[in-house]
Structure 1
Amino acid sequence: MTADLDIISLAKLNAQEQRKLQEAWVHIYRLCGIDDKASDADKKSTVPDLTAKLRGHLSEQTKSPEAFRERLWASILADHPDATILRFLRARKWDVEQAMIMLVSALGWRGEHHIDDAVIYKGESVAHMPSGKTRSADEEAFLAQYRSGKSYVRGTDKEGRPVYVIRVRLHDPRLQTPEAMEAYVLHNIESIKTMLTFPNDKACLLFDMTGFGLKNMDFHVVKFLVQVFEARYPETLGVVLIHKAPFVFWGIWSIIKGWLDPVIASKINFTSSTSHLLNFIEKSQLQRSYGGEDDWEYKYIEPLPEENSRMQDVEKRTKIQEERNDLARQFDTHTLAWVAAAAAASSGDKTEAKAVKEQADKRLELAQQLRANYWKLDPYIRARTYYHRAGVVGSGGEVDFRAARA
């Protein structure tokens, strides 16, 4: 992210969309327990109070304002905070109330599925259990899926989005429980999220259907994927390529397409040859097995015994987290000032136009600092992944989708 990307150019928002974003932040701060009745933002705001209604969609884990705020910032990771909120606004066609209901529900779902304290925190570290402990059957299955090479990120499409390849023939639903499969799916999505930055903040999914048979069909995981991309990770899919689907798949497709939200359905394309794939992915970015020029092949890199040692340094983690909390509080302050200045400017106060720009610039500066802080915090809260070991994701968040470390 560069310094010339203010909030409007970052998201390419028009005036109405900017107001919707500001309304969303007002609702969020009310849920965070900020005394908005005493704030300049609320005095000048015409945003209806939906707090009671939105609280009805909170999970038990996010009932308190403190817990809600903590869960929100945990989900933002290295994103510009606005980018996270805008995903939900766009998914609900800028209906602020519906977008906030969707966001609140998604944050509760993250808690119920232990995204932060298990999926991200443990991840592939289960390869090295503490002395005296053994892996569960689901943890064994989780690792087995990574070792199988059934899915991985390699290269980018023509829009600069990472290509996530799923080799469906390598999936056998009998080899793991639905819970183990869900954990694997969520861990992959959360890993891919760390690779997404504006403007390439969506992914290209390539389902390789070569050799697909009925034994590979898993209706549970397909339905799960549809649900999480629609409701939990909105606006994360850029395009979906279903490559070389055999005749047996078309009867199954008639069932699957009935589950799809129209927005997701519009992103799906069927390809049957290299020339079709080249409409979406440059030849240099496409693996040789698909007719491209990249001769790389997936090989799982096993976790190292001490690669997560920093996760035990509670003192260092706490210090970095406190720095992040302070930056987040500053971001809150300047966001409220930005909302208030925009409200005053829209009512004809010309002196406030300068203040809007000043607050937007300050928010951008803080968003950049929050991103830098996140990458300092990451090794203390996230077990290292295959993508760290392969050199795809660097220590500062830099990404090389063509890294080929063995």
Structure 2
Amino acid sequence: MDMENSVGDSETSDGRDEMEKKKVGLLRALVETKDPTAKDVDNLMLRRFLRARDLDVEKASMMFLKYLKWRHAMGYTSETYIQNELAQEKLYMQGRDKKGRPIGVAFPCKHNYSHRDLDEFKRFVVYSLDKLCASIPEGQEKFVIIADHKGWGYANFDIRGYVAALSIMQDYYPERLGKVFLIHVPYIFWTAWKVIYPFIDKNTREKIVFVENKSLQSVLLKEIDENQLPEIYGGKLPLIPIQESSY
């Protein structure tokens, strides 16, 4: 019986793969007629946009063409233009989880909306996502984030900044987030969460894990080997600011 189920699962998986492959071809044909620069992207990128729209070729094409237009306008962000954001050292990148996905560690308590320029913050988000994606090894497509809210307060609640960051990640980097661990979450954060939640799409919501303080180390070690976990969480790696990361 187990063998029959295994064969059935394999056939189902093969069927899904073939359907995806066919739809990626349809998506490529559609977007290349509307923007010739689409020829420069690989099938894996097109597949991510397709999956983000539940394999709907028309919706995926609109999403992808919007991405191309945005990327042409945005370009790739230089550290020169985000010095204020980098100086706050609120994002680090070090280690990989057990699936090989790079790990980013964010400290929202270091983000103060009264001292930020929104355009610079958006560029910082793009810079950070580009660097995380560039560090993803062959055979993997996603990264993991540990968002440490220790010390977070209302001075750090930046609704415009949070929504902008969510929009950039969800609209232009689909299927790149593997999981985000929200840790050391203070009680006052839940007020902010109610405001932010409606802006989080279904796919992203499914990747968010709230971790209780008492089970923090065990939860993280289940996903990340000790020699890849930051020292501050009981691991062996030092935290390295994202701009100094060698990835």
TM-score, normalised to structure 1, is: 0.54
2:49 aligns with one of 62, 71, 88 = 88
1:70 aligns with one of 17, 28, 37 = 37
Shift of 1:299: 5.6
Q: How does 1:364-403 map to 2 (within 5 A)?
A: 386-387=243-244, 390=245, 392-393=246-247
Q: Which amino acid aligns with 2:240?
A: Y
Shift of 1:85: 0.6
Shift of 1:205: 1.2
Q: Distance in 2 between matches of 1:110 and 1:298?
A: 28
Match for residue 197 of structure 2? 257
Aligned pair in 2 of structure 1 residues 88, 287: CA closer, same or farther (>3 Å)? Answer: same
2:168 equivalent to 1:228: yes
2:228 equivalent to 1:297: no
1:105 aligns with one of 62, 66, 70 = 66
Deviations 1:219-276 (A, max 9, x none): 1121112212221111111001101101110111122112111111000001132222
Q: Distance in 2 between matches of 1:290 and 1:148?
A: 21
SS of residue in 2 equivalent to 1:29: helix
CA RMSD of aligned residues (A): 2.0
Match for residue 228 of structure 2? 285
Q: Which amino acid aligns with 2:142?
A: K
2:95 aligns with one of 144, 155, 160 = 155
Gaps of at least 5 residues in structure 2 are: 1-12
Q: Distance in 2 between matches of 1:253 and 1:29?
A: 40
Q: Distance in 2 between matches of 1:88 and 1:104?
A: 10
2:19 aligns with one of 12, 16, 19 = 16
Aligned pair count? 231
Q: Distance in 1 between matches of 2:156 and 2:39?
A: 37
Shift of 1:152: 1.8
SS of residue in 2 equivalent to 1:279: helix
Q: Distance in 2 between matches of 1:179 and 1:223?
A: 13
Match for residue 85 of structure 2? 145
Aligned pair in 2 of structure 1 residues 215, 149: CA closer, same or farther (>3 Å)? Answer: same
Q: Distance in 1 between matches of 2:201 and 2:36?
A: 29
Shift of 1:192: 1.7
Report if aligned partners of 2:85, 2:124 keep a CA contact under 8 Å in 1.
Answer: yes
Report if aligned partners of 2:91, 2:241 keep a CA contact under 8 Å in 1.
Answer: no
Q: How does 1:335-354 map to 2 (within 5 A)?
A: none
Gaps of at least 5 residues in structure 1 are: 1-10, 32-67, 127-138, 301-385, 394-406
Report if aligned partners of 2:104, 2:145 keep a CA contact under 8 Å in 1.
Answer: yes
Shift of 1:99: 0.7
Q: How does 1:317-356 map to 2 (within 5 A)?
A: none
Report if aligned partners of 1:149, 1:298 keep a CA contact under 8 Å in 2.
Answer: no
Deviations 1:266-290 (A, max 9, x none): 0000113222222322222111111
Q: Distance in 1 between matches of 2:88 and 2:60?
A: 38
Report if aligned partners of 2:94, 2:239 keep a CA contact under 8 Å in 1.
Answer: no
2:216 equivalent to 1:276: no
2:129 aligns with one of 180, 184, 189 = 189
Q: Distance in 2 between matches of 1:187 and 1:297?
A: 18
Report if aligned partners of 1:72, 1:107 keep a CA contact under 8 Å in 2.
Answer: no
Q: Which amino acid aligns with 1:157?
A: D
Aligned pair in 2 of structure 1 residues 270, 172: CA closer, same or farther (>3 Å)? Answer: same
TM-score, normalised to structure 2, is: 0.86
Shift of 1:92: 0.8
Shift of 1:72: 5.8
Q: How does 1:198-213 map to 2 (within 5 A)?
A: 198-213=138-153
Shift of 1:201: 1.2
Aligned pair in 2 of structure 1 residues 197, 72: CA closer, same or farther (>3 Å)? Answer: farther
Deviations 1:157-212 (A, max 9, x none): 12211111111111111222111111111111112221124422111011111111
Shift of 1:148: 2.5
Larger Rg: 1
